[in-house]
Amino acid sequence: MDEEAVSYLSSLRDDEEILLEDIEGTQAHVIMLYEQGIISGDEARQILRALEELKGEAAEGKIELRGGFEDVHELIESYIISRVGREVGGKVHSGRSRNDQVALDIRLRVRRYLLEIWREALSLGRALLSRAEEEKEAMIIHYTHLQHAQVGYISHYLLAHLDHLLRDLERLEACYHRVNKSPLGACAIAGSTLPLNRNRVAELLGFDGLVENSVDAVSSRDFALEAVAVAAIMMTNLSRVAEDLIIWSSSEFGYVELPDELASPSSVMPHKKNPCILELLRAKSGKIIGLLTSLLTIMKGTPTGYNRDLQEAKTLIWEALKEARDSAKILTKVVQGIRFREERILERVEESYAPAIELAEALMIHAKLSLRDAHKLVGALVRQLHDEEKSLKDLDYKTLEDVSEKVLGKRVNLPEEDLRKAINPKEATKARKTAGASTPNEIARVLEERRESLEKTAEGFEINLKKLLRSREKFEETIFMLIR
Ligand code: ARG
């Protein structure tokens, strides 16, 4: 091939991510070829030995992905041939195509990424849970439209994001099982006349089963699209947490303070403490959405079967999954280290009009007003207090009576005790009766339940990880038995 053409189409550099996967996938294929009588024990031994050496060098970072190769698959095959000769090494690719080979490598690599993201998301979940536990008593304002909405608790905010994350974890787990299937043995697209044992390869590599249909096996990348989509959705959630914390760390809000070791100084302004990590997380979530869009667009027009377009998808997949993993990891540190300035937040809570809704509901419950009348009356009260530069907690019984006479044409009959409770933020939250509300009782219940949900997904993670480790042990044992 023309040198420039090879350099244009070569994926060699992007294949660094799947170097190990390609070596191991090839080893599994070779073991199966031997077990099926397609190559001899001696041939298998020679090839496996060469691959073991290559694996060792790869693990030490000694392999340079260079030369005029189109990809890592060519490079490895030519390495084997250079080590054991063409007569033996030339058999390694029997019954295999680069099409099923690269699909296998991508599945192996995405599987590994998903486990890493799973682990980091679990840590983040634990951090959110333990901060929610710590902040159980601390109040905050819940915002809508970024305006004071209702008063509540920091822990309720944190638990909301834990619930987001638990759904991310559910999506991740489901995706993991769809990824963890072996495409190898599909050959170029329609199978092989050699007596390959596809299930054996799947077993050796710790897959749960096969991507059965050979056309599907080489054509599909939906497993990777799904993984990136899961990552993009998770990142969208994380990005909103980042955004909240960025706003809350501004001088105007001053609700949170980043630990020094997670904040960036300015090169010129000595007083600065910039939330750069969170800004980058916000940006990276945008980037991952872009990567997902690129991937979907690359895929949508390719005819069924392998097309070289699919090669261009690989780096996008690595990049998206790596960024998602690292983002979950760094956000865990932020969540663990961030300080909520509870006193300052409480000042904002106490001067807020946010308990207005509880006051309106008290008027409905105790003074038997309709929602509309209560809404009208409390709206007028808030306007008057606002004009007098007072907060809701300054509302006295006389003002309530006067204003109600004015706007409703009657005196409301709200016991003074109920008025006092309704405009006191803490009392107001305690009076909430709905499931899932920002009230101490519900928060305490939810904390316990979510602890269990987290442990359940942690169990799922451990089970899958152990399964892989066990099959890896067996795989290595099998190689060892064949090469000794
Ligand atoms: N480098 C290619 C990729 O990453 C490998 C598959 C090439 N297959 C082919 N038939 N040219 O997708």
Minimum-distance ligand 1 atom for the alpha carbon of 71? 1
**Does the structure show a pLDDT above 90 at 463?**
yes
Q: How far is the CA of 106 from the centre of ligand 1 (A)?
A: 12
Please identify, by atom number, the ligand 1 atom nearest to the C-alpha of residue 14. 4
User: Are residues 257 and 266 in contact, defined by beta-carbon separation less than 8 angstroms?
Assistant: no
Q: Using the atom order of ligand 1, give the atom closest to the CA of residue 314.
A: 4
pLDDT tens-digit readout, 273-296: 899 999 999 999 999 999 999 999
* Distance of CA 4 from the midpoint of ligand 1 (Å): 18
Considering only CA atoms, give the Rg of the chain. Answer: 30
Q: Which of 100, 187, 308 to mutate to test the pocket of ligand 1 (most atoms within 8 A of CB)?
A: 308
pLDDT for residue 166 is more than 90:
yes
- Please tell me the CATH code under which domain 3-94 is placed: 1.10.275.10
Give distance in angstroms: CA of 77 to centre of ligand 1. 14
3-state secondary structure at position 414: coil
Of 71, 72, 221, 298, the residue with max ligand 1 atoms within 8 A of its CB, to mutate for a pocket test, comes to 71
% residues pLDDT > 90 (the chain) = 96
pLDDT band at 66 (very low <50, low <70, confident <90, very high): confident
Q: How far is the CA of 86 from the centre of ligand 1 (A)?
A: 22
- pLDDT the model gives residue 483: 96
What residues flank ligand 1, with Cβ below 6 Å? 11, 70-71, 73, 98-99, 102, 306, 308, 310-311, 314
Residue whose CB lies within 8 A of the most ligand 1 atoms, among 77, 102, 109, 314, for a mutation test: 102
In CATH terms, 356-423 corresponds, of 1.10.40, 1.10.10, 3.30.9, 1.10.1330, to: 1.10.40
pLDDT of residue 265: 87
pLDDT, residue 76, reads 97
Closest residue by Cα to residue 193 from 185, 183, 205 = 185
Residues designated as active site: 145, 266
- Ligand 1 atom nearest the C-alpha of 10 is 1
Give me the amino acid identity at 1: M
pLDDT of amino acid 454: 97
User: Residue 104 Cα, ligand 1 centroid: separation in angstroms?
Assistant: 12
| Structure token digits, residue 357 | 């809704």
Answer whether 328's CB lies under 8 Å from 128's CB: no
**For 61, left (φ over 0), alpha (ψ -120 to 50), or beta?**
left
Four-residue CA torsion sign, 407, 410, 411, 415: negative
> What atom in ligand 1 is closest to the CA of residue 310?
12
Q: Judging by beta carbons within 10 Å of its beta carbon (0-12, 13-18, 19+), is residue 101 exposed, middle or buried?
A: buried
How far apart are alpha carbons 468 and 372 in whole angstroms?
61
* H-helix or E-strand spanning residue 204: helix 198-204
pLDDT value at position 49? Answer: 98
Residue 133 Cα, ligand 1 centroid: separation in angstroms? 51
Please give the mean pLDDT across all residues of the chain: 97
Query: Span 100-139+154-193+207-341+448-471: which CATH code?
Result: 1.20.200.10
Q: Where are the domains of the chain?
A: 3-94, 100-139+154-193+207-341+448-471, 356-423
Nearest CA to ligand 1 atom 2: 311
Question: What does the pLDDT look like over 33-53, one tens digit per residue?
Answer: 999 999 999 999 999 999 999
Q: In this predicted structure, what is the pLDDT of residue 344?
A: 97
C-alpha 342/C-alpha 162 separation (Å) is 21
